[in-house]
Amino acid sequence: MKHAFLSRKMSEKSHFHSIGLLVIRSDNMEAAARFYSALGMLLEKHSHPPCGEHYSTVDDNCVFEICQRKPEQPPTTACFFGINVENVEVAVGTVLKSGGLVKRLPANSEWGRTAIITDLDGHSVMLIENAI
């Protein structure tokens, strides 16, 4: 099922093209990388500023990075984001086996079949099946 705003064409005056980077900070970067790898992300370790050593993956136009949170840095857990999965029920099972929590069980929505989970650091993540 498609949400109405997804069908909209951008104005010719728009400077926005797509989201290109999403960075989360983790108190345990290695555990976070294992968690997201279990969900199917192909993460590679990289090192460059500003994060230094981190994990990242690229999907279409978006780079997703997991950085080690430094004590002086605030957490990024206020950020809510979604990831596309092949099967939301299977993904929820993987989340539970990997130590995450389920905030909202799988259900049909205007974006397809979705669930909301919490990763090991407390980031809320929408799992989206049949996403556009």
**pLDDT at res. 10:** 55
Residues 22-49: pLDDT tens digits? 999 999 999 999 999 999 999 999 998 8
The CATH topology of domain 19-129 is: 2,3-Dihydroxybiphenyl 1,2-Dioxygenase; domain 1 (3.10.180)
Structure tokens at 33: 């990388």
**pLDDT at res. 59:** 87
Residue 41: closest CA among 61, 24, 63, 26: 63
Residue 123, pLDDT > 70, answer: yes
Structure tokens at 7: 């069908």
pTM of the model as a whole:
0.86
Encoded amino acid at 66, one letter: I
Burial 26-36 (b: 16+ CB within 10 A, else e): beebebbbebb
If 0-12 CB within 10 Å is exposed, 13-18 middle and 19+ buried, where does residue 40 land? middle
Residue 1: closest CA among 122, 92, 109, 84: 109
Cα end-to-end distance, the chain, whole Å: 8
Residue 121, pLDDT > 90, answer: yes
Per-residue pLDDT band at 61 (split at 50, 70, 90): confident
Per-residue pLDDT band at 1 (split at 50, 70, 90): very low
Structure tokens at 79: 């950020």
**pLDDT at res. 7:** 52
